[in-house]
Amino acid sequence: MWLFAGLGNIGREYAGTRHNVGFEVVDLVEQKMERSTGWRGGKGEYYFAKGWRGSDELLLIKPTTYMNLSGRAVRDALQFYKVPKEQLIVIADDLALPLGTLRLRTLGSDGGHNGLTSVIYELGTEDFARLRCGIGSNFHRGGQVNYVLSKFKPDETDTAQAMMERAAVSCFEIVESGIQKAMNLVNLAPEK
């Protein structure tokens, strides 16, 4: 089983914001699975969906803890479903990457992302894969919080949607070909 944890903030007011890219990617993955249970609650501090791609089982989660405590949900899901850490992929937005850029890494720092900080803290390691989705950094000094909680502008929407679609397809590439091969494809893909 693979666990894909999309990071975001729960609540209608956060839907479609830059900080909720992780939620949107796992929603797309759920829609593209061959078979799916659909989204359900009741498993602690996250919504979950289980499904299959061929013979591979995928577990998707969306923490309900809000971004800064996302690690609790990720840790609990790993333990409850007995998923090896090597088969965890955390999907998060990233200010350091231009809008539309994807980066898949098998380990690394939190890069200033509070959700990743929480996951690292709860797992006690930086050694887990993450798929970072570039949201750009077009904000004035001191405007980071408002920026990440804002929706994509009309002229950014197509690029953002294409990136999230590529991210969802990348999740299946990870399952089918392994992280290393997927990294070569995702990280070398042309940026648009």
Side-chain half-sphere CA neighbours of 82 within 13 A: 0
DSSP 30-46: HHHSSEE---B--SSSE
pTM for the model: 0.94
Residue 143, both tokens: 């405007």
Task: Please give the pLDDT value at position 42.
Answer: 65
Task: Please give the pLDDT value at position 44.
Answer: 80
Side-chain half-sphere CA neighbours of 75 within 13 A: 16
Q: State the chain's mean pLDDT as an integer.
A: 93
Neighbours of 140 (CB within 10 A): 8
Q: Tell me: pLDDT of 85 over 70.
A: yes
Q: Rounded distance, CA 15 to CA 102, Å?
A: 21
Task: Please give the pLDDT value at position 119.
Answer: 97
Q: How confident is the model at residue 141 (pLDDT cuts 50, 70, 90)?
A: confident
Q: Tell me: pLDDT of 190 over 60.
A: no
Which residues carry out catalysis? 19
Mind spelling out the 3-state secondary structure of 71-122? HHHHHHHHHHHCCCHHHEEEEEEECCCCCCCEEEECCCCCCCCHHHHHHHHH
Residue 149, both tokens: 């909680």
Task: Please give the pLDDT value at position 49.
Answer: 96
Task: Please give the pLDDT value at position 140.
Answer: 85
Q: Rounded distance, CA 31 to CA 79, Å?
A: 25
Q: How far is CA 112 from CA 98, 116, 118, 163, in A?
A: 16, 8, 11, 21
* Digit-coded pLDDT (tens) for 19-33: 999 999 999 999 999
Number of domains in the chain: 1
What does the angle CA 87 – CA 108 – CA 22 come to, to the nearest 5 degrees? Answer: 60
Range of the domain at 95: 2-188
| CATH code assigned at 176 | 3.40.50.1470
Q: Tell me: pLDDT of 114 over 90.
A: yes
Task: Please give the pLDDT value at position 189.
Answer: 54
* Digit-coded pLDDT (tens) for 23-81: 999 999 999 998 899 999 866 899 999 999 888 999 999 999 999 999 999 999 999 99
Task: Please give the pLDDT value at position 9.
Answer: 95
